[in-house]
A and B are shown apart, each in its own frame.
Chain A
Amino acid sequence: MHMMRSVGTLTRADLAETLNRKLGLSRAESLDLVEAILAKMCCALSEGENVKISSFGSFVLRDKRERVGRNPKTGIEVPITPRRVMTFRASQKLKDRIGAAV
């Protein structure tokens, strides 16, 4: 199997740059909007609401019960407190788009 061409990491700044370039919004406004999108999703999730973005995927909350864990170094049993975790389920469209790139 051949190595995939190495591509850099996309960040907030890159997303803002694209909004600036494609829509002509100012750089400051573009960055604010990127931040606002993340804040809205973050806010809904922290209030216990799942976030579903059609043709991209869903961020789904799961409540985990308490369980017994072990410190891998010492072997001592420690309780793992109940917690809420967030998972991402990619939409079929996103899976197809990424899977096709092999």
Chain B
Amino acid sequence: MIRSELVEALATDNPELRVEEVEQIVDIFFDEIAARLAEGGRVELRGFGTFTTRAREARTGRNPRTGDAVDVPAKRVPYFKPGKEMRERLNTD
């Protein structure tokens, strides 16, 4: 399923909303999650899973094409842990 299919499915279930409104709703949903993570916070959607960020230390990487050493600065990376209900649902037929 891709974003447009999600919008389509929600629009079908909610005929009182215009498709453009459903698009806005989906945009806001994911943008709010991203914004909270960018602020250093976490997002807990019980049953589905939890989004957090993890710290990565600075390291010396290599340009794979030239082999030159490059400094990779410390950064935070997004991390997602599926919820218990979600994990169970993936394994029931």
Contact = CB atoms under 8 A, between A and B. Distances in A.
Nearest to A82: B91
Interface of B: 1-3, 6, 9-10, 13-14, 21, 24-26, 28-30, 32-34, 36-49, 51, 53, 73-80, 82, 86-87, 89-92
Nearest to A22: B28
Contacts, number: 146
B29 to A, nearest CB: 6
A40 B45 contact: no
B78 A95 contact: yes
Give the bracket for the number of chain A residues in contact with chain B: 35 or more
A15 interface: yes
Interface of A: 1, 4-12, 14-15, 18-19, 22-23, 25, 33-34, 36-38, 40-42, 44-46, 49-57, 59, 61, 83-88, 90, 94-95, 97-102
